[in-house]
Structure 1
């Protein structure tokens, strides 16, 4: 079983040789210098447990449907929140890690999380600065154009779209905000 000190079951050598051509050509210990390291010695690990103590789970964690439970130790640096958390939970609850839908939903959740963070920053005392934090300022102060055009960069063919992908959401957000303010002022004047 995973996460235990038990050695996993070894398949039958004769069955492997019959099924897989060339299996076992390196079984002779004289042909392999790493043989002493490969000897199984459960006492050599220094582990004082058979199954590790489980980390306390303060909030429900996402877990792949292939696994029976969350690993004994898990990360808690970025707890799920907002719409991105809903998308991540849906992905883990409904799709196997072997399915593309699982990973596409996680990528979409990352994009939604980035948008949520940008929106959240607008309501703080120090909102994001798109000029310095997206590298636009560095284009003019750190020889950005010359570094882009000199040499043979692999990303030269899609550089034209980078400003649209980086600046586009900010422009759309500013336009939507201006439209909302304008609509609000129209209602107030009536």
Structure 2
């Protein structure tokens, strides 16, 4: 493992001498001496918590592509494999991990877009099956009517009351827009 490996618990070497840093940056290194720290003498400088194992656990075997932040040199020693990347949503997520830092909004927006594409493809896949998704029950629209949804919110001083007018647009809007686009496509193909 390299010295800059974030999972090894070792800091990389300074790029310039301490004296140069102190001259250039006011207050740099004020807490280097443990006696100058507010928590002295009770602070423990032992980076290893009590009961922790020595060293890094054995690296889990990697089969194929695994998501890894570009900030890190290696994968974490253990990682999940239950949901491997697949299809268009996987390509979008791969783009986020391979090209953008976790500090960039593009990274997170691409991950959100990948999730939305995954939801859309799974919904479309369900319509092609013998048991398609039930939009009325799975979106909660039926529960709003049968289980006193609006009555449970009104008069309760709840903060979510202000977005009630937007709920139908957010929940039903994409479906109405999709139906309209499908209708236009069928009409164009016929004529």
1:28 aligned partner: 40
- Tell me which protein shows more helix as a share of its residues: 1
How many residue pairs get aligned? The number is 174
Rounded to whole Å, the distance in 1 between the matches of 2:50 and 2:154 is: 56
1:170 aligned partner: 175
Rounded to whole Å, the distance in 2 between the matches of 1:2 and 1:95 is: 18
Rounded to whole Å, the distance in 2 between the matches of 1:10 and 1:163 is: 56
Residues 27, 20 of structure 1: CA spacing in aligned structure 2 closer, same or farther, 3 A cutoff?
farther
Residues 86, 43 of structure 1: CA spacing in aligned structure 2 closer, same or farther, 3 A cutoff?
closer
Secondary structure of 1:163's aligned partner = helix
The two structures, once aligned, show a CA RMSD in angstroms of 3.1
Q: CA deviation at 1:163?
A: 1.1
Secondary structure of 1:61's aligned partner = coil
Rounded to whole Å, the distance in 2 between the matches of 1:59 and 1:167 is: 39
Q: CA deviation at 1:145?
A: 0.8
1:138 aligned partner: 143
Q: CA deviation at 1:70?
A: 1.6
Q: CA deviation at 1:22?
A: 7.6
Secondary structure of 2:130's aligned partner = coil
Rounded to whole Å, the distance in 2 between the matches of 1:109 and 1:137 is: 28
The partner residue of 2:132 within 113, 127, 132 is: 127
- The answer to whether structure 1 residue 19 and structure 2 residue 24 are counterparts is no
| CA displacement, residues 141-170 of structure 1 (integer Å, 9 cap, x when unaligned) | 111011222222222222211111111222
Residues 64, 25 of structure 1: CA spacing in aligned structure 2 closer, same or farther, 3 A cutoff?
closer
Q: Is the Cα–Cα contact under 8 Å of residues 84 and 113 in structure 1 kept in the other structure?
A: yes
The partner residue of 2:86 within 81, 84, 87 is: 81
Q: What does 1:26-105 correspond to in 2, within 5 Å? A: 26-29=38-41, 32=42, 38=44, 40=46, 45=51, 47=53, 50-105=55-110
Q: CA deviation at 1:8?
A: 4.9
Structure 2, unmatched stretches of 5+, are none
| CA displacement, residues 87-141 of structure 1 (integer Å, 9 cap, x when unaligned) | 1111111111111111111111111111111111111222111111111111111
